[in-house]
A and B are shown apart, each in its own frame.
Chain A
Amino acid sequence: MLFATDCGPVSCAVARALVSAVALGVFAASEFVGYRFASDLFPDNPFKRRGTLAYLTVMNCLLAPLLGVVLYALFP
Chain B
Amino acid sequence: MNARDRLAVYLVGQFVAVTVLATLVGAMLGRFPFGGPLTRPVATTIPTWLAMRTLEAVGVLVLLGYVGAIAAVLLGGRSLVGRARYRSAVAITTLSLPCLVLLLVAGWVVVGARLGQLLAVTALVGGVGLLALVVAVTLGLLGGDRSGDAGVGDRSDDRSAGSGDGSGRDTAPLVVAALVCLGVLVGVVGVAGGADALVEERDRFGVPQAAFETTYEPVNETHGVLTVRHDGGDAIPRTELYVRGRASRPSTASTRPRRGRGPETRAGRTPVRGSDRTTRRPSASVPTARSTSSTSAPGTTPRRRRSTPTTVRPARTERPPGIGQSTNSTPVTSKQTPPSTPSVTATVQPWAVAISRTMARPNPVPSRSVV
**Closest beta carbon of chain A to B330's beta carbon, Å:** 23
Q: Which residues of B contact A52 (CB under 8 A)?
A: 7
Interface residues contributed by chain A, number (CB under 8 Å) = 36
Q: A48-B157, A69-B50, A72-B47 are contacts. A33–B10 as well, Cβ < 8 Å? A: yes
**Closest beta carbon of chain B to A60's beta carbon, Å:** 7
User: Please, what's the 1-or-0 string for A1-12, where 1 marks a CB less than 8 Å from any CB in chain B?
Assistant: 111101100000
Q: Which residues of B contact A66 (CB under 8 A)?
A: 18, 21-22, 25, 51, 54-55, 58
B29 at the interface (CB under 8 A from A): yes
Q: Which of B11, B160, B198 gathers the greatest number of chain A CB atoms within 10 Å? A: B198
**Closest beta carbon of chain A to B199's beta carbon, Å:** 6
Choose one: B18, B57, B163, B198; the contact of A74 (CB below 8 Å). Answer: B198
Chain A binding surface, main DSSP class: helix
**Closest beta carbon of chain B to A31's beta carbon, Å:** 11
Interface residues contributed by chain B, number (CB under 8 Å) = 45
User: Please, what's the 1-or-0 string for A30-44, where 1 marks a CB less than 8 Å from any CB in chain B?
Assistant: 100110011011111
Q: Which residues of B contact A69 (CB under 8 A)?
A: 21, 25, 28, 47, 50-51, 54
Chain B residue with Cβ nearest A75: B198
Q: Which residues of A contact B24 (CB under 8 A)?
A: 70
> Bound complex: CA of A69 vs CA of B51, how far in Å?
7
A18 at the interface (CB under 8 A from B): no
Choose one: A4, A59, A65; the contact of B198 (CB below 8 Å). Answer: A4
Q: 4 closest A-B pairs (Cβ-Cβ)?
A: A44-B156, A73-B198, A66-B21, A40-B3
8 more CB-based (< 8 A) A-B contacts, given A1-B45, A70-B21:
A1-B42, A2-B45, A37-B3, A41-B161, A58-B61, A62-B61, A69-B25, A73-B198
Q: Which A residues are within 8 Å of any B CB, using their own CB?
A: 1-4, 6-7, 16, 30, 33-34, 37-38, 40-45, 48, 52, 55-56, 58-60, 62-63, 65-70, 72-74
